[in-house]
Amino acid sequence: MKLKLLLSAFLAVVLIGCTEESVNQPIFDRAYALCQDGEYNMSEEYLNNHQSELVQPLSEADSVYLIFLKSMYKAKLALLDYTSIADTTQLNRCIDFYTKTADIEKLAWTLIMKTLKTSYLGDNTQAVLYLRQAEDIANPLTNSELKFYIAYLRLEFDGSTFDLGERGLGLIEKMRPYARSIEQKAYYLSAKVSVFYLNDMTDSTKRCLREFEKIDTTTYSFLSIYGMVFADEEPEKSLRYALKAAEINPWNDIAKMSRIKSYLCLNRLQDALDFYHNSTFIGDGTRVIALEEFYKYYHRNHMAAEADKVAAELVTTYHSILKGATEGVRVISASTNYDFKIQELANQNRTLRIIFVAVMLFVIAITLLSAVLVRQRRRYERELAQNRQILKESHDKIEELRTAGESADNEREIARLQRKINEIEGRYAEIYSQGKKLYEEIFARGGNSGQWNKRDYERFLEYYKTLDLSLLAQIEEEYSSLNPRQTFFKILQMKGYEKEQVMRTMGIQEDGTFRALKSKVEGLKK
């Protein structure tokens, strides 16, 4: 009997130990939740700030969780630096642990990281197998960030990205429902634009570019291809986009090509020639496309001698690239030699375009992933949304009760609501208390934000959401991609502040600075 009691007690202790949550888990769960929102930098900063609060020694679960999170921070850079991902032994440890605990979401993420690491080590066949395992495991999940990453890597690894039939488009379309951030939407549209452009599907390319133009006008791949497709119809605009693309990425060949084509559509032949002869192209494939544009210009303007010369250079270049595969290509002439039949080079040209667009898509991927690290994120932490609304409603109710007059019932209700406000603000003390101080500094003490940094503006806005969420929602509805300082400027305007009041409140000393800020904000109006 005693033995049975001892065994029961022992099992109870074991079960309690198994089910007890680690004291460190809330910190890790918070960091993981930020990653699922795409806020990798914020998550890493949060974990670093709370590192000293972790209770040591770490349990096995905590140790694996820490490896997993740090690997995720590095995985967002995977196409730039595979070596930054955790070593294979650590990843295997995570896979074993999350397999044993049946944590399929973290297991799927770890398999994605194993995909990237295996690819870096040169075994793409095995990498694709890991990726397919991750896809199978993640199939019943609803995690949007995870699903986008899987679809994105399917395009990169499982590819035939340039087998541009239904299968290629199908892989791209798998990204669309999960593309939430501007960077993800831009990558999805970039891939789609490239498919249509490579297949000479002009109408589809134009429709996709118009869609792209609505969400992002600074991604150089969009700017460059826009110039190539719309140069005939909008040469001035195409040239501006080509020049802007060159500023963003001076070594991008499509930006150079767009510039040449735009010059020619504007009949600025000498500018096109000067730029062509002074430019360094990544490959001969780009030079071929440039020569085709010159040929078409000469042909269109009946410049027979010049067209004949370009045709001969084209044939020579094709011979050089294809190493004899163009022996059958001929330059056919009637009264002159300039009527060069480019159509006969269509198959060879397609091969060159495939190589060229492959390089372009790789550069797009690198640029978009880099942009994730530097672009201002507009999304705030989802878990605060409900509390912001409660705070807003509580503040409004208190104001309503005070306006109604003094009574015992009103005082009790005000006290209850104030306790609720204090409880929420205490839970998020760092965000709300600092934001409240900044709010009072401006609107209660008449101070200014001249010495504020980006974090100060963010804290102010987090607190302001508890007071007037509808005003911020209106601003977000009317404007796109405002940074925190620009949002603060717009709040002051919408609260009726005149120019002099705005300048004083923001610590702006010169009219030129004010005008530049106002112009920038209005330029982001939807």
Burial class for 350, CB neighbours closer than 10 Å (0-12, 13-18, 19+) = middle
Q: Is residue 69 part of a domain?
A: yes
Q: Is residue 501 part of a domain?
A: yes
Model confidence band, residue 268 (pLDDT cutoffs 50, 70, 90): very high
pLDDT digit string, tens, across residues 189-221: 777 777 777 777 778 888 878 877 777 656 666
- Give yes or no: residues 322 and 193 share one domain: yes
Q: Return the pLDDT at 510.
A: 86
* Mean pLDDT across 397-417: 81
- Give yes or no: residues 460 and 359 share one domain: no
Domain of residue 447 covers 382-523
Q: Is residue 58 part of a domain?
A: yes
Q: Is residue 152 part of a domain?
A: no
Q: Is residue 392 part of a domain?
A: yes
- H or E element, residue 505: helix 499-506
Rounded Cα–Cα distance for residues 58 and 396 (Å): 45
Both structure tokens of 187? 């990558």
Q: Which of 61-65, 150-154, 363-367 has the highest mean pLDDT?
A: 61-65
Rounded Cα–Cα distance for residues 57 and 36 (Å): 27
Domain count, the chain: 3
Rounded Cα–Cα distance for residues 462 and 266 (Å): 50
pLDDT digit string, tens, across residues 296-331: 888 888 888 888 888 888 777 766 655 433 333 333
Both structure tokens of 469? 């969420």
Of 85, 112, 147, the last residue of a domain is: 147
- Give yes or no: residues 496 and 391 share one domain: yes
pLDDT digit string, tens, across residues 362-392: 666 656 655 543 443 444 445 556 666 777 7
Q: Is the pLDDT of residue 157 over 80?
A: no
Query: How far is residue 510 CA from its own chain's centroid?
Result: 35
- Give yes or no: residues 313 and 436 share one domain: no
Q: Is the pLDDT of residue 336 over 80?
A: no
Model confidence band, residue 39 (pLDDT cutoffs 50, 70, 90): confident
| Residue indicated by tokens 């009637």 | 334
Helices (H), 301-380: 304-322, 346-374
pLDDT digit string, tens, across residues 287-299: 777 888 888 888 8
Model confidence band, residue 270 (pLDDT cutoffs 50, 70, 90): very high
- H or E element, residue 34: helix 25-36
C-alpha dist (Å) from residue 509 to 177, 407, 505, 517: 46, 49, 11, 12
Provide the whole-model pTM.
0.46
- Give yes or no: residues 207 and 314 share one domain: yes
Q: Radius of gyration of the chain from Cα atoms?
A: 30
- Give yes or no: residues 362 and 405 share one domain: no
Rounded Cα–Cα distance for residues 511 and 517 (Å): 10
Model confidence band, residue 340 (pLDDT cutoffs 50, 70, 90): very low
Side chain identity at residue 206, one-letter code: K
| Residue indicated by tokens 């991927």 | 365
- H or E element, residue 484: helix 484-494
Q: Is residue 6 part of a domain?
A: no
Q: Is the pLDDT of residue 9 over 80?
A: no
DSSP readout, 435-464? HHHHHHHHHTT----TT--HHHHHHHHHHH
Q: Return the pLDDT at 23.
A: 82
- Give yes or no: residues 356 and 240 share one domain: yes
Give which of 478, 516, 480, 511 is closest to 494, Cα–Cα. 478
- Give yes or no: residues 166 and 263 share one domain: yes
Residues β-bridged to residue 525: 479
Rounded Cα–Cα distance for residues 191 and 263 (Å): 27
Model confidence band, residue 348 (pLDDT cutoffs 50, 70, 90): very low
Dihedral pair phi/psi, residue 494, rounded to 5°: -75, -15
Q: Is residue 60 part of a domain?
A: yes
- Give yes or no: residues 341 and 401 share one domain: no
Q: Return the pLDDT at 185.
A: 78
- Give yes or no: residues 360 and 389 share one domain: no
- Give yes or no: residues 200 and 341 share one domain: yes
Rounded Cα–Cα distance for residues 347 and 200 (Å): 12
- Give yes or no: residues 270 and 365 share one domain: yes
Q: Is residue 38 part of a domain?
A: yes
Higher pLDDT, 357 or 418: 418
Q: Return the pLDDT at 503.
A: 92
Q: Is the pLDDT of residue 517 over 50?
A: yes
Both structure tokens of 239? 């040239």
Of 126, 147, 168, the last residue of a domain is: 147
Model confidence band, residue 337 (pLDDT cutoffs 50, 70, 90): very low
Please state the three-class secondary structure of 94-135 as a single string.
HHHHHHHCCCHHHHHHHHHHHHHHHHHCCCHHHHHHHHHHHH
